[in-house]
Structure 1
Amino acid sequence: MASSSSSALRELQHELEAKASDLNKLQKDIAKNHQVRKKYTIQLGENELVLKELDLLNENANVFKLMGPILVKQDLAEANANVRKRIEYISAELKRLDGTLQDLEEKQNSKKDAILKLQQRIQALQAGKAKA
């Protein structure tokens, strides 16, 4: 009896280690998601600011786009359209990241619950062993 409970205990501890490792990986993925989301949020703010500036210009204003080390003259309507497309793309990426984050957080909570249950089973086994 003692060897079978000892073997079960070892098995549960290995399972606990595996789940803890999975949880650690999920937490790293969540942190990475937050970093990327922060970068996109900053870009969105910058592009919205550029769009406001473009809206203040009159139709015949000169607009330049930085391409490498060179400023290239660009049509105001084209510049406006490009900034709007960029804002649309960034907003879509933020929405996608939010969905991914929600999924990761649900998985994280599920792993935490599974780890807690495993810890309780291990404690119960150890308590049973101590009584014997």
Structure 2
Amino acid sequence: MKYKNEVKLQFPSHSENEAFSRAAVAAFAVQLDPTVEELTEIKTAISEAVSNAIIHAYDEAEDGLVTVEVKYTEDRRLIMIVSDDGVGIGDIEKAKEPLYTSKGGEERSGMGFTVMESFTDRLEITSKPGEGTKVTMMKQLDSLL
């Protein structure tokens, strides 16, 4: 597939970088002139994906890298990919269940994948234990009027 434009960011898995990634993806998506609602959905979806990578991919004692790729096509399809080289997910279907969290005892809602799925048109998760996780989200923006 040919993309009209794309960008790739990589940063340490520090919680403060979630806000940076959200702002960077929003700034990139603005090129497509999204509605306020579409932009809010994009920011929320990327925020959830990056937060998941920061919180779940790496042991608190280690820093890892989170990679965010954002691309768009001529027909205003936005593709957002968040990946890490962390612990991976053993059971993706279980992880996608609302209210499930692998961080029991902490204040986690377990709604990350549910939120991503509800604010995008397609969500794909690939992961292998010990090898990391890749979350791909696609959002088709409305046609310009």
Taking structure 2 as the reference length, what is the TM-score of the superposition? 0.29
Higher gyration radius (CA): 1
Instruction: Identify the structure with bigger relative contact order (alpha carbons < 8 Å, sequence gap 6+).
Output: 1
- Greater helix proportion: 1
- Greater strand proportion: 2
